[in-house]
Amino acid sequence: MRVLVVGHGPVAGVLATSMATGHRVGFAVRERTAESRLVGTRRLRTARRVERRSVELVTAGERATGWDMVISTASPASPGVAELLGQSPIVAAVTQVPSEVELLRELAGDRPWGLVVPEFFAGGADPTWWWPPARVRFTVAGPASASLRSLFTHPRWSRTAPLWAPLVSAAATMPVVAGLHAEDFDLTAARRSSRRLAAAATQARNAVAAEFGAPAPRPVSPHAVRVALAVLPRLAPFDVPHYLRGHFGGHGTQTLRMLRDWVELGRRHGLPADRIEDLLERVSA
C-alpha cells in the first residue's frame, strides 16, 4: 500500500518506522530539498538499534495522486490538509479533538476514514526518541480501522477501539495538560489544583460520551490526578516538565480548541461545563 503522511514531526517518524516494509511511505512537506529522506527513531529504555525508514518527499503543493491512504499528523483544519485528504481512497488523522474528528468525517464523505492515536511520548530528531508507557504504539478507530492496523509490522503494535474511546481518553488527560499549561508546567502547582482538574476532566468525558454515544464514563478521581503527576516524572526516561513545556506549550491552540469543543458539547447535551469554562479562562489568560 502507498501511504502518504502529512507532516514530518516525531509522531510521523514513529508512524513511518512502525509500518511494514512492504508499504511505500511518503511525507508531505512544505519544501522539498531532496527526493527522499532517511527517517530514524529510537525507543528509550531498550537495547534495540535505531529503526530507519526511507520515505519519499512530496511538497504540499503537488497533487498527491496515486496514494492509497493519506494520514495527517496535522490538524485537518490546517491550510492545505483538506486538499491532501481529498485525493485518497482512505483518509485518517492523528487527532482526538472532537471538531477535527467531525471535519475528517465530513471530508471523507463515502470513503473509509479513521483515527490514528499515538500511545507514546516522542521528541527530538535524527533520530526521534519515543517512549510508550504501555506496550501498544497506536490505537486506531473508525471505519478504516482494519486498513490502518494492516499497516504495522506487528499486530501487537496497534489496537482497535470504538471511535469514542480515544476521544473520551483525551478528555481525561488533556484537562490536566491544560491545567499544567495554566501553571507554566509546574507539576507541584498542578497537583494542588487536582480537584479542579479532575472536575473539569469529568465534565469533558461526560460531554464527549454524550456526543459520540459512549457508555457513561466514571468520574475522574482527584487522587488519580495527583498520583499521575507525581509518578510520571519518576517513571519516564526523560525530563517530563521540559518535554511538556516544549510539546504542549507549542500546541496551545489545539488545547484551547479541545476545551472549547467540550464546552460546546456539554451545552448541546444539557450537561455542566462550568469547570471546563473556568479552565479555559485560566489557559487563555
* 147 and 10 belong to one structural domain: yes
Give dist(CA 135, CA 131) in Å, integer: 10
CATH number at residue 60: 3.40.50.720
Predicted pLDDT at 61: 65
Q: Say which amino acid occupies 275.
A: R
For residue 228, pLDDT over 80 is answered with yes
Predicted pLDDT at 47: 64
Predicted pLDDT at 249: 78
For residue 250, pLDDT over 80 is answered with no
Q: Which pLDDT band holds residue 59 (cuts at 50, 70, 90)? A: confident
Q: What percent of the chain has pLDDT over 90?
A: 83
Tens digits of residue pLDDT in 78-88: 988 988 888 79
Helix (H) or strand (E) holding 260: helix 252-268
Determine the structural domain holding residue 140 and report its residue range: 2-161
**Stretch 209-228: mean pLDDT, rounded?**
97
* 18 and 148 belong to one structural domain: yes
Predicted pLDDT at 80: 87
* 142 and 238 belong to one structural domain: no
Last residue of a domain, one of 104, 127, 161: 161
* 245 and 218 belong to one structural domain: yes
Number of domains making up the chain: 2
* 61 and 93 belong to one structural domain: yes
Ranges assigned E (strand) in the chain: 2-6, 24-29, 36-43, 51-59, 69-72, 90-93, 113-118, 121-123, 128-131, 138-141, 158-161
For residue 253, pLDDT over 70 is answered with yes
Last residue of a domain, one of 126, 161, 196: 161
